[in-house]
Amino acid sequence: MIKPGRRHSALHFAEHAKEDNTVAALQPVRGTHDSLPEESGLHRLVEDTARAVAGRFGYGEIITPIFEFTDVFARTLGETSDVVTKEMYTFTDRSGDSLTLRPEGTAGIARAFISNGLAQNAPIKVFYRGPMFRHERPQKGRLRQFHQVGVELLGVENPLGDIEVITLGYHLLEALGLAGRVVLHLNSLGDLESRAAYREILVAYLQSHRERLSQDSLTRLERNPLRVLDSKDEGDRAVVANAPRLSEHLNQASRDFLARVTDGLTRLNIPFKLDPLLVRGLDYYGHTAFEFVTTDLGSQGTVLAGGRYDGLVRQMGGPPTPGIGWAAGVERLAMLMGEAARPVVRPFALVPTGPETENIALELADRLRRAGFVIDLGYSGTLGKRMKRADRLKARAAIIVGPDEIAKGEVGLRDLETGDQQAVALDALEAALARLV
């Protein structure tokens, strides 16, 4: 038998537990956050600028699903990569298919290239944007749901493609006012012949330091030793620091390819730094690898990165197709730009002086919005309260709609920067607002 007091305590505990679960459920999932209008405005600026810059280079926007069959990523990113083994959000749907929220954009675009038979239209030049998902440890500049913009160029094996793609990234950073705060790191991964020869040399070196390698790197050593060069483990990094450099084992064809790329960047006045430690550990990467890096974001310093992936489409079952592209983190670019760069839209406040002019104000608001002006029409309140709202919104001016003014076919236009007010004829209102924008 439960005593009344104990029964009450149990119910009380259960109610509080339920409340705690409700509160937890009402919080964003760890590694995600809500982008409120102030922040999303800056994100939109990054995306719109990237779209516009890519458009000047002839890149059209592509929109692929945010989830794919898991095999799209498992096969392309590598079964031993951290993304596949630790970070992918994978689930089984009601049909029993294994699906994965996209952790990056390139594999989905390569799949779309094959699915839609785009090889006959090559070269294909596309821009993309949207959310990506990785189960990483959240920290500044790294989220589990994050957003990227990127470009892919498929069907061009000439180094001119590499130069174009890198230049496009640099133009974007220039347009965002960030070119002076980043450094372009550049390296060559060589062709298949160069990488095969280097692989043997690297494996021999790493085997002689097996006892110092992490378990992850020991696994990679058997399947894809170049991925050891990507390791973030401090012990691995100490070993890698003295490893033979791929750049020292490039054949002449690979050296010539790199020389064409560096010459093109020099001609376009795009500064760069050759970085022999910059690698891409996946089999389909070759030749050019690059990153734009800043020191202003702590450990998450890479803001835009890419490379040439001539083997990807073939590895996925499509025709042999060269490719090169890059992706940039929207959140990181926005953080680097800072709040001062956030676009500020200053509305015009439409202020009826009383109920008798609210319908007229409603019609006038619709007319001005159709003309392209940002109009805030308060829903209720006295004239004083509506003017205070206009101040809170940092409105550029207040359009005061009173019965006497309307009878004369005009409104009052108060400049909220100077305090000056003038009567403006209704048919001249658009022109008067345009002078204040």
Q: Which residues are annotated as a binding site for L-histidine?
A: 104-106, 134, 148, 152, 280, 284-285
What is the three-state SS of the chain?
Answer: CCCHHHHHHHHHHHHHHHHHHHHHHCCCCCCCCCCCHHHHHHHHHHHHHHHHHHHHCCCEECCCCCEEEHHHHHHHHCCCCHHHHHHCCEEECCCCCEEEECCCCHHHHHHHHHHCCHHHHCCEEEEEEEEEECCCCCECCECCEEEEEEEEEECCCCHHHHHHHHHHHHHHHHHCCCHHHCEEEEEECCCHHHHHHHHHHHHHHHHCCHHHCCHHHHHHHHHCHHHHHHCCCHHHHHHHCCCCCHHHHCCHHHHHHHHHHHHHHHHCCCCCEECCCCCCCCCCCCCEEEEEECCCCCCCCEEEEEEECCCHHHHCCCCCCCEEEEEEEHHHHHHHHCHHHCCCCCCEEEEECCHHHHHHHHHHHHHHHHCCCCEEECCCCCHHHHHHHHHHCCCCEEEEECHHHHHCCEEEEEECCCCCEEEEEHHHHHHHHHCCC
CA dist list (Å): 120 to 180, 207, 311, 411: 40, 45, 18, 61
Q: Which two tokens stand for residue 24?
A: 């937890």
Phi/psi-derived region of residue 78, left when phi > 0, alpha when psi is between -120 and 50, beta in every other case: left
Strand partners, 401: 352
For the annotated binding site, the residues are 104-106, 134, 148, 152, 280, 284-285
Chain-centroid distance of CA 286 in Å reads 24
